[in-house]
Copies of this chain bind each other. A is one copy, B any other.
Amino acid sequence: MSDSLGKLFVVISFGESHGRCVGAVVEGCPAGLRLDEKEIQWQLDRRRPVAGRARTPGSTARAEEDRVEIVSGVYNGHTTGAPITMRALNQDVDSSEYEKARFLPRPGHADYTAYIKYGGFNDFRGGGRFSGRITVSFVMAGAVARKLLDRLGIEILAHTIQIGNVEAPKANLKKVRDNAGRNAVHCADPDAAARMVKAIAGARRAGDSLGGAIEGLALNVPAGLGEPMFDTLEGELAKALFAIPAVKAVGFGAGFLAAHSTGSQNNDSFIVRRGRIATTTNNAGGILGGISNGMPIVVRVAIKPTPSIVRPQQTVDLRTITPATIEVRGRHDACIVPRAVVVVESMMAITLCDFALRAGLLPRVIK
């Protein structure tokens, strides 16, 4: 069965963490889009442990170049309308730790569920298909989607709003644009960013890890995207975001806070702003009845702490069904939130691009 994403802009992910490569196939991209490897590489580089000048704190020591290679679907610098295949070779692979622990599932990881589902035939090395490394393929596809959204003036932004117990103050759009790219944790508030860095360092020293939360924003999304019944904009965005390993909750606009408020507080009044219909507040997160209303799409995701921690943990030996202890070594991030920011953006871009195509907003050939 296909385990792909999207209906008109379709993304397939292939490859394994310690196999030959990880990659993506994108079907449904209009012909004529200018696309080169540099643009995709730029997004991939944002996902790497060392982002910009600052090295992402607490990130894995695995040093992958993640060099993207376009394998098909692009000719003379433009998309051809054919499936776009992209991949990055795996280079810095050390599977030794995994071989040892093959039958000792790591708590919080997919080792156990993968073992059950695939009868032990899954490529378990480095987490195989369940590794965070697989998100390289999401970012590749997201980079193509963003190029298409650019043409519609749709902008996608994400930023870290929480790491462990450090919560960033509510930031306006200008702050997000100006600051989130300037620190290693992609936080819109420089002070909070500094505290987040410290918190991660502390967790790492303690052999522990931290979770956090990311806010994603989509600006200039036209009203009318989303289907009324099952393929709602919320539903499809949530599905895409839950594909990111470690995401455990997704809320739109007021999110879980909506449960506490009253209708008179929560309803966003309609007004006319610069000749166009808008709302006073945005508790709906830009979505009413599963369909975009022209306001910014606002989504928040919770990311659980990295399950790999440098402490003995209780597990079960799958061969004997007896208790066992495991110490996860390998090379891991003490907090993956900062690196997930670009992944959140990528999933939003893929989903919105799919809906833009469904709504007929993009031509079949771009000229």
Stretch at the interface among A48-56, A60-68, A182-190, A262-270: A262-270
Specify which chain B residues have a CB less than 8 angstroms from the CB of A358 in the assembled complex: 1
**CB < 8 Å: which of B7, B117, B242, B316 contacts A232?**
B242
Q: When the two chains form their complex, are residues A113 and B262 in contact, meaning their CB atoms are under 8 A apart?
A: no
Q: Which residues of B have CB within 8 Å of A13? A: 83, 229-230
A291 interface neighbour in B16, B113, B265, B289, Cβ under 8 Å = B113
CB-CB under 8 A from A252, the residues of chain B are 248-249
Q: Which of B75, B267, B360 is the one whose CB lies under 8 Å from A309?
A: B267
Q: Given A113-B292, A238-B239, A249-B250, does the pair A80, B15 have CB atoms closer than 8 Å?
A: no
How distant is A287 from chain B, measured CB to nearest CB, in Å? 8
Contacts of A93 in B (CB 8 A): none
The 8 A CB mask of A302-337 against B (1 = contact, 0 = none) is 111111110101111010011100000000000000
- A142 at the A/B interface (Cβ < 8 Å)? no
Could you tell me the distance between the alpha carbons of A162 and B256 in the complex, rounded to whole angstroms? 11
Instruction: Tell whether A107 pairs with B267 under 8 Å between CB atoms, given A8-B1, A83-B12, A122-B82.
Output: yes
Known contacts A129-B228, A307-B267, A323-B272; A114 and B289 CB within 8 A of each other: yes
Is the C-beta of A73 less than 8 angstroms from some C-beta in chain B? yes
A305 to B258: give the CA distance in the assembly, Å.
Answer: 7
Say yes or no: B14 contacts A270, CB within 8 Å.
no
Beta-carbon contacts under 8 Å, A39-79 to B:
71-73, 75-76, 78-79
